[in-house]
Amino acid sequence: MIWAGWVYVALIAILVCFQACMAVGAPWGHLANGGRWRGRLPPAMRVAAVGQGALLAFMGMAMAAQAGIAPGWPSWTFWAAFAVTIATTIANLATPSPAERRLWGPVTVVLTLCALRLAFV
């Protein structure tokens, strides 16, 4: 089970870095939020990227706790992160942005598989 936690945390770290880069102006708008914005995100969406990064970090810690990597988090946090992981996977597989779907679809599928593994520990 620990391997699933480490894989989940590693992928989440990549996603947190992606959101941080978007927040400071990386021109990757076509790879997020349905590909609605080309280039840099508008200011309000940059702030949202900070919030998304924080949520992702929370999810990573909740999964790490479930895997026994970072104990001390309440068990409900795992289930909240689990639900958001499933919703994010569905959104990334259904996004109108082909680039976003090709990049984040497989990543979120792996996150979901890891979360499912951790759900049955």
- Our CA angle for 81, 86, 90, nearest 5°, is 145
Residue 38 · residue 29 · CB < 8 Å: yes
Distance CA 53, CA 98 (A): 22
- Ordered per-residue pLDDT tens for the chain, 121 residues: 689 999 999 999 999 999 999 999 999 999 999 999 999 999 999 999 999 999 999 999 999 999 999 988 999 999 999 999 999 999 999 999 999 999 999 999 999 999 999 999 7
Structure tokens that stand for 27 in this block: 């021109």
Straight-line distance from the first to the last Cα atom of the chain, in angstroms, rounded to the nearest whole number: 7
Q: What pTM does this model have?
A: 0.93
Structure tokens that stand for 72 in this block: 């001390």
